[in-house]
Amino acid sequence: MLLAAASGKGKSTLLSLIAGLMEPDAGTIEVAGRNIHSLSGAARDHFRGKHVGMIFQTFNLLQGFSALENVMAALMFGESSPRQQAERAGELLSSLGIQRHSAKVETLSVGQQQRVAVARAVAARPELVLADEPTASLDPANAQSAMTLIQDACRANNAALLCVSHDPAMWARFERKEQL
């Protein structure tokens, strides 16, 4: 689903509430059948790591770590070996045109950093992907590639996708759209 609204209307806040990064004032929010806000801090973090992939506007990449290590961090709650994690992370990065897997993320361009964030979000095959302006820093060709990866990964894993964006090109990519 695509959600569009003007700046300051609460799109990013909504995603933060759904992810359990902010507490709601009232009501409950369920993700994969669980009230995410009923979980303790560590349990919530673990649950989010296994069930929710996130693409933030500001990327939230781990500075001082490589592109590969940033994507592998999303896989640390899984059952796969470090070698399998590195293979999955490398495949995702390559599919998004990131060839310098060992480059520290702070040495990458903004567009490359955004693609690392996309790879990290889908790496663990989450049930829900929250995407906050996932293509804002990408040129049209890389934006298409990133959205194709996100949507294909969501389809392959039967994952829900909630994307917020101002990009008019995104409208054609989604069957369900809401404008606030």
Domains of the chain plus CATH, in order, are 2-23+57-170 (3.40.50.300)
The greatest distance separating any two alpha carbons of the chain, rounded to the nearest whole angstrom, comes to 45
Query: Please, which pLDDT band fits residue 98 given cuts at 50, 70 and 90?
Result: very high
Closest of 112, 123, 117 to residue 156, by C-alpha: 123
pLDDT of residue 171: 87
- By residue count, the chain amounts to 180
Mean pLDDT of 98-112: 95
Is pTM beyond 0.75? Reply is yes
**CA-CA-CA-CA torsion sign (7, 10, 11, 17):** positive
Q: What is the DSSP letter of 167?
A: -
Residue type, 2: L
> Which tokens in the block code for residue 161?
């996708």
State the pLDDT confidence band at 89, using cuts at 50, 70 and 90. very high
| Contact (Cβ atoms closer than 8 angstroms) between residue 138 and residue 169 | no
Residue-wise pLDDT for 7-58, tens only, equals 888 999 999 999 999 999 999 999 999 999 999 989 999 899 889 999 988 8
pLDDT confidence tier of residue 116, bands split at 50, 70 and 90: very high
pLDDT band at 157 (very low <50, low <70, confident <90, very high): confident
Q: Of 49, 120, 130, nearest to 88 (Cα)?
A: 120
| Tokens found for residue 66 | 């490589």
Dihedral sign computed on CA atoms, order 146, 151, 153, 156: negative
Tell me how crowded residue 106 is: count the other CB atoms within 10 A of its CB: 11
Whole-number pLDDT of residue 19: 95
Confidence of residue 141 (pLDDT cuts 50, 70, 90): confident
Give the integer Cα–Cα distance in Å for 39 and 156. Answer: 28
